[in-house]
Amino acid sequence: MPAAIIDGKVVADRMQAEIAEQAARFTAKQGYPPGLGVVLAGDDPASAQYVRMKSRACERVGIASFSRVMTAASTQQEVEDAVASLNADPKVHGILVQLPLPKGINEEPVLRLVSLDKDVDGFHPVNIGMLGMKGRDPLFTPATPTGCMVLLKEAGAQIEGANAVVIGRSNIVGLPVALMLMKANATVTVCHSRTRDMQSIVRQADIVIAAIGKAEFVKGDWLKPGAVVIDVGTNKVDDPNDERGYTFIGDVEYSSAVNVASAITKVPGGVGPMTITMLLANTMKAAWRLAGE
């Protein structure tokens, strides 16, 4: 029997409807809407596209967005000043610094500068540190990993005690999702470009999170039958059949994996819609906290 499809769009739409209700309630009570500040520096087209999608989603649910758009020639000081101005703005409840920052900008001090109360991306080193520590809870967790965890729960995956394999160790996805799985009492293995015999490790996994950024890297015959598979990859590939001339495919070879897994996400329509939704949810949470509720 082919795997059940874990539909991120359906889950995201449901959650966004709930966020829109909350945003309307917040606005009625405070007299102004929840606000998300976005720092976009540089000319990476993918980053510009993500930021446009985030702004549109904010508009849809009734969250105001405040953009600080800067060129690739921006200095460290200018980027830090943009964050500081959003920290100081009472109409801004959440701050997102779109990554990667341009070459020559040191990311670490920029992320450290984001007010902890407004760190809706969860990338402040204190929030990441608390995510990794036993008995501590960060104020906010990063959007994409949180979306993966929500989808696992939607799929009915048993996380506690499961063997979970994360493929990829980026600061944005691989590392934080591994920490979140560990907090949820999974036994976690992180595979990466230097891992030996990755297939035999993936074969042990009840849960696979693929976030390595390589198109169709994980094949169906790597998987343990019945595994739950979350595909974080969004790899742009040429596609003459698509009117744009390109399309996006995941890190998992869907056509073979769907016959082995018990549940699987699609690309697009899996993790992607969840990322923005979790950012909106974190912004709403930040707004209520800052309003004293």
Which active-site residues does the annotation give?
54, 98, 121
By CB under 6 A, residue 144 contacts ligand GUN: yes
Q: Candidates 90-98, 207-215, 254-262, 283-291: pick the segment binding ligand GUN (CB under 6 A).
A: 90-98
β-strand pairing of 246-249 with 235-238: antiparallel
Residue 187: name the closest of 198, 199, 176, 178 by CA. 178
Give the nearest distance from C-beta 257 to ligand GUN in angstroms: 23
Give the nearest distance from C-beta 123 to ligand GUN in angstroms: 7
Tell me which of 98, 234, 265, 283 binds ligand GUN, using CB under 6 A: 98
Tell me which of 12, 82, 86, 99 binds ligand GUN, using CB under 6 A: 99
The whole-angstrom distance between residue 107's C-alpha and the CA centroid of its chain comes to: 18
**Residue among 100 and 104 whose Cβ is closer to ligand GUN:** 100
Binders of ligand GUN in range 167-206 (CB under 6 A): 172
Tell me which of 15, 58, 92, 96 binds ligand GUN, using CB under 6 A: 96
* DSSP bridge partners of 41: 70
Cβ–Cβ < 8 Å for 92, 37 = yes
Give the nearest distance from C-beta 73 to ligand GUN in angstroms: 20
Q: Candidates 28-36, 71-79, 93-101, 247-255: pick the segment binding ligand GUN (CB under 6 A).
A: 93-101
| Count of chain residues binding ligand GUN (CB under 6 A) | 9
Q: Candidates 24-32, 91-99, 124-132, 188-196: pick the segment binding ligand GUN (CB under 6 A).
A: 91-99
**Residue among 114 and 165 whose Cβ is closer to ligand GUN:** 114
Cα–Cα distance measured from residue 219 to residue 210, given in angstroms and rounded to the nearest whole number: 11
Cα–Cα distance measured from residue 32 to residue 34, given in angstroms and rounded to the nearest whole number: 7
Residue 269: CB atoms within 10 A of its CB come to 15
Give the nearest distance from C-beta 96 to ligand GUN in angstroms: 5
Tell me which of 19, 118, 121, 205 binds ligand GUN, using CB under 6 A: 121
**Residue among 150 and 260 whose Cβ is closer to ligand GUN:** 150
Tell me which of 143, 162, 263, 286 binds ligand GUN, using CB under 6 A: 143
Binders of ligand GUN in range 254-273 (CB under 6 A): none
Q: Candidates 94-102, 152-160, 204-212, 260-268: pick the segment binding ligand GUN (CB under 6 A).
A: 94-102
In SS3 terms, the chain reads as: CCCEEECHHHHHHHHHHHHHHHHHHHHHHHCCCCEEEEEEECCCHHHHHHHHHHHHHHHHHCCEEEEEEECCCCCHHHHHHHHHHHHHCCCCCEEEECCCCCCCCCHHHHHHHCCHHHCCCCCCHHHHHHHHCCCCCCCCCCHHHHHHHHHHHHCCCCCCCCEEEEECCCCCCHHHHHHHHHHCCCEEEEECCCCCCHHHHHCCCCEEEECCCCCCCECHHHCCCCCEEEECCCEEEECCCCCCCEEEECCECHHHHCCCCCEEECCCCCHHHHHHHHHHHHHHHHHHHHCCC
Give the nearest distance from C-beta 253 to ligand GUN in angstroms: 23
Give the nearest distance from C-beta 180 to ligand GUN in angstroms: 14
Interacting residue ranges for ligand GUN, rule: CB under 6 A: 96-99, 121, 143-144, 172, 275
